[in-house]
Chains A and B, each alone.
Chain A
Amino acid sequence: MTTAVQRPALVRSSDRMIAGVCSGLADHLGWPVKFVRLGMVLACFAGGAGVAFYAWLWTMVPTADESAKRNARRPASPIAPAVSLPPTAAAPAQASTAYDAGPSPAVHGGPPAAGASGGQESGSSSRAGSASGFDATSADDSWGGSALSPWFSFRKIQYGKEILLGAALLLVAALLIARQFGVDVPLGTLIPAAAILGGAAIAWMQLDETRRAGLVDKTKADQAGGWVRLAAGLALVVAGVLVMVSGSGSWEQTWLALLASVAVLGGVALVLLPWGLKFWKDLETERAGRVRETERAEIAAHLHDSVLQTLALIQRRAGSEQDVVRLARAQERELRAWLFSDAARESGLLADRIKSVAAEVEDSHGHAVEVVTVGDTEMTDRHEALVQAAREAMVNAARHGGGTVSVYLESTAGSTEIFIKDRGPGFDLDAVPDDRLGVKESIIGRMKRHGGTAAITSSSDGTEVRLTLPSASVDAGDQRNNDVRNGEAKQ
């Protein structure tokens, strides 16, 4: 029993001779592939048992790809991170081999309405056992759904199918044995009937899978294998019906019957076409609805984690204006970033870096820092120094200045400039003692060391720090010219 827990899932391997059944089985059981294959071949001579077993596993066992796809879908759930935990730890030892064959895509005749996660869960790896079931229900419950009871009925039906299949096989065996003992079995009727049943079963399995897959995963719906299976089921049913109706008569009769039935089918198709189209449209609508639902769940989860928490915090801190402003600003920034930026913009660009530094200063000092950027450039070590100098200037502005701190970044081919302006009372740069590292060292000295300049203008209206960093290609001469032309170096 304990070994069952550690076994890899029973899936059809991609390392295949025919359908990957044997190597999948070998992986699952931990036996050498050769022996499994040999055993299978030998079993084929035992009255074709090997063929039947192989065919059965072929139909019932998902391929490795399918299985992985289903498993991969589960952690995508934005609302219940717990769902994405591997179920192995909690998997009970009840995962017997009989159960292992269970979760094939075909077995779920249960209500497809059991909910997205329910449907996905039950299609997941065979070892998931009741652990995955638990996950599914907890995820659903957290959203107010009561998936518990549908899911259990789902399980019952799943076993019911197994039993049904076993019973059918037993019946066949009994019939064959009865024939051996000389009982007259009307095989002429039974074989077409069995063909009809089998074909119908295949077709229904197919329909079930297509529907479920269609709701969950668009790419599955147009898999060629599905059509082949549908066609096979159809052919079996038609052949069975024909043989049955024509009473296993001559070819001519069968042929006529075939023509007639094709005509009837055509007529029926013509009548049912609008209905079929409507069904397809409904399916599309439902699919779109599900996508929307997922999106909404993601948004709800995000708002819950961010905005609602902040609002609660703001209510508790309503007394402190500064705290409220800081919380509101931080939340606004976070929400904006989430709404309007995509991952591709997480690049090492200067504007983003300046914005994040400004956000940091804003958070730690509770002063609004407005950033306006024009143009952008790649970050380099020199630009990092520029950012650090700008950060120091912002900290100073937030600490000593009043009101909003304005930061303006302009990046052109020739140089990068950053302006940091506050509306504080201003200060006299010459009066700043030499041991105060803030301005002299962190801003002016740092810019000089990296080939840039820093200029500080201060009056009673406020202070403006201007940082200029020429592009690496521009040589020192141009840089000096820049300074002269700009004419604002009032150090």
Chain B
Amino acid sequence: MNTNPDSGTGRRVPVVIVDDHTIFRSGLKADLDERMDVVGEAGTVEQAIAVIAESRPEVVLLDVHLPGGLGGGGREVIAGSSALLGTTSFLALSVSDAAEDVVSVIRAGARGYVTKTISGKEISDAVIRVADGDAVFSPRLAGFVLDAFGTAPADIADDELDKLSARELEVMRLIARGYSYKEVAKELFISIKTVETHVSAVLRKLQLSSRHELTKWAAERRLL
């Protein structure tokens, strides 16, 4: 379903897995299909930054909660690898559904957020999508976005970073309802590429919006 020319030619996406649980790392490694290649693993913040700098992967599967460093976990890894953000994309993985964790790691620069209970097929698709430069939104993340930005569409006069457009809202709503990108495209009579554009735009707003309510909101919703 993906329009990635690379995956068709058999080129494998180099991936680094960062998680402090060895069992989870090996499980995840087994789950990733033949479209990607695990080129490195790390269990702490320092290791992760070193491994990423050395192996230059396209995608980093990054646990949000990591030992080491200054205690910043996944956020700190992204900050430490900021020089590579143009070539390397980060996909956050977590057992936590807490809004604060989600929002902080997205705002640090991650291209998506999925929970660790995600199936093997879904995680592979998500990695490919992130490698293509798109954003990965789980229903829960879409729910957070709707909750944080509000469900009223932006007026033209509004600062566009602080609100979602009517179309973006529609896309977010459908994703929150459990629709896949393909289903969203079908429902709205648009192409998958357009859906991906909308999602990326939302991600950008989530990352760049200076709305202080966003942070406040996330802090309040720490208790999910």
**Interface residues of A, Cβ cutoff 8 Å to B:** 336, 340-342, 345, 368, 370, 372-375, 404, 406, 408, 410, 412, 419, 421, 461, 464
Contacts and interface: CB of A to CB of B under 8 A. Distances in A.
B213 to A, nearest CB: 15
A227 B41 CA distance: 61
Q: Of residues B177, B183, B224, which shows the largest number of chain A Cβ atoms within 10 Å of its Cβ?
A: B177
Given A406-B178, A464-B177, A345 B223 contact: yes
B31 interface: no
Q: Of residues A336, A342, A372, which shows the largest number of chain B Cβ atoms within 10 Å of its Cβ?
A: A372
B98 interface: yes
B140 A370 contact: yes
A375 B178 CA distance: 17
Nearest to A404: B178
A340 B173 contact: no
9 contacts: A340-B98, A341-B223, A368-B117, A372-B176, A374-B147, A374-B176, A408-B143, A408-B177, A410-B151
Interface in B193-224: 222-224
Interface string B117-147: 1000000000000000000000110110011
B223 A410 contact: no
B177 A406 contact: yes
A410 B178 contact: no
A189 B185 CA distance: 103
Contacts of B224: 336, 340-341
Q: Of residues B140, B178, B222, which shows the largest number of chain A Cβ atoms within 10 Å of its Cβ?
A: B178
Nearest to B222: A340
A101 B17 CA distance: 68
B146 A374 contact: yes
A149 B117 CA distance: 51
A373 B98 CA distance: 13
A204 to B, nearest CB: 45
Contacts of B151: 374-375, 410, 412
Contacts of A341: 223-224
A341 to B, nearest CB: 6
Given A374-B147, A375-B151, A421 B177 contact: yes
B85 to A, nearest CB: 29
Contact of B142 (A342, A372, A404, A412): A372
A336 B147 CA distance: 20
Contacts of B142: 372
Given A370-B139, A372-B143, A374-B147, A461 B177 contact: no
Contacts of B183: 461
Given A410-B146, A410-B151, A412-B151, A370 B223 contact: no
B3 to A, nearest CB: 20
A370 B178 contact: yes
Nearest to B151: A412
B92 to A, nearest CB: 17
A410 B146 CA distance: 9
Nearest to B148: A374
Contacts of A421: 177-179
Contacts of A408: 139, 143, 173, 176-178
Contact of A410 (B98, B173, B222): B173
A12 to B, nearest CB: 44
A373 B117 CA distance: 19
Contacts of B140: 370, 372
Nearest to A373: B143
Ranked nearest first, the 5 interchain pairs of A and B with the lowest CB-CB distance are A406-B178, A372-B143, A408-B177, A374-B146, A419-B177
Contacts of B146: 374, 410
A8 B69 CA distance: 59
Nearest to A461: B183
Nearest to B139: A372
Contacts of A404: 178
Interface string B11-40: 000000000000000000000000000000
Contacts of A410: 146, 151, 173, 176
Q: Of residues A370, A375, A408, which shows the largest number of chain B Cβ atoms within 10 Å of its Cβ?
A: A408
A419 B174 CA distance: 10
Contacts of A374: 143, 146-147, 151, 176
A342 B224 CA distance: 10
A404 B147 CA distance: 22
A404 B97 CA distance: 17
B139 A406 contact: yes
Given A336-B224, A374-B147, A410-B151, 13 more contacts: A340-B98, A341-B224, A342-B223, A370-B140, A372-B142, A372-B177, A373-B143, A374-B143, A374-B146, A374-B176, A406-B139, A408-B143, A421-B177
Contacts of A375: 147, 151
Nearest to A464: B177
A373 B142 CA distance: 10
Contacts of B147: 373-375
B185 to A, nearest CB: 12
Interface string B153-180: 0000000000000000000010011110
A421 B139 CA distance: 12
Contacts of B178: 370, 404, 406, 408, 419, 421
Contacts of B139: 370, 372, 406, 408
Contacts of B117: 368
B208 to A, nearest CB: 22
A464 B177 CA distance: 9
B187 to A, nearest CB: 10
Nearest to B183: A461
Nearest to B182: A461
B150 to A, nearest CB: 9
A74 B178 CA distance: 50
Contacts of B97: 336
Contacts of A373: 143, 147
Contacts of B176: 372, 374, 408, 410
A430 B177 CA distance: 24
A370 B151 CA distance: 20
Contacts of A419: 177-178
Interface in B102-125: 117
Contacts of A342: 223
